[in-house]
Amino acid sequence: MTVHHLLEAELEILDAVSFYKARAGDLAVNFYAEFKRAREEIAAFPEFWGGVGGGYRRKLLGRFPYGVIYRIEGDEILIVALAHTSRRPGYWRGR
């Protein structure tokens, strides 16, 4: 399946990478690699991860406190947010 990102999700990804880069460059590389792996898994098995209401699903990242929020739209996947698991729950609803 083809994967697309909303602009807001792209900005959240960049913000998270910048955050980890400021702490230690290797953390940023590891974070982005983990995100890419999650994105590939979502593309391969989009219905595997549980729904969080409203047609949205969430795949948690392994080593980092983030979830990839997405929805399936026909034969495409739309990533709507990269949401921190402890901050502002549900802020991405309605995107």
pLDDT tens by residue, 2-20: 999 999 999 999 999 999 9
Helix, strand, coil in percent for the chain, rounding step 5: 40, 30, 30
Q: Is residue 43 part of a domain?
A: yes
Residue 95 lies in a domain: no
Mean pLDDT throughout 51-58? 93
**pTM, full prediction:** 0.91
Flag whether 50 is in a domain: yes
Domain extent at residue 72: 2-84
Angle between helices 7-23 and 25-44 (to 10 degrees): 150
Q: How far apart are CA 88 and CA 72, in angstroms?
A: 23
Please tell me the predicted confidence (pLDDT) of residue 87: 85
- The CATH number given to whatever domain includes residue 57 is 3.30.2310.20
Distance CA 74, CA 16 (A): 29
Higher pLDDT, 25 or 58: 58
Instruction: Tell me the two tokens of residue 20.
Output: 């980890």
Band the pLDDT of 46: cuts 50, 70, 90: very high
Model confidence over 61-82: pLDDT tens digits? 999 999 999 999 999 999 999 9
**Count of structural domains within the chain:** 1
Is residue 90, in this structure, part of any structural domain at all?
no
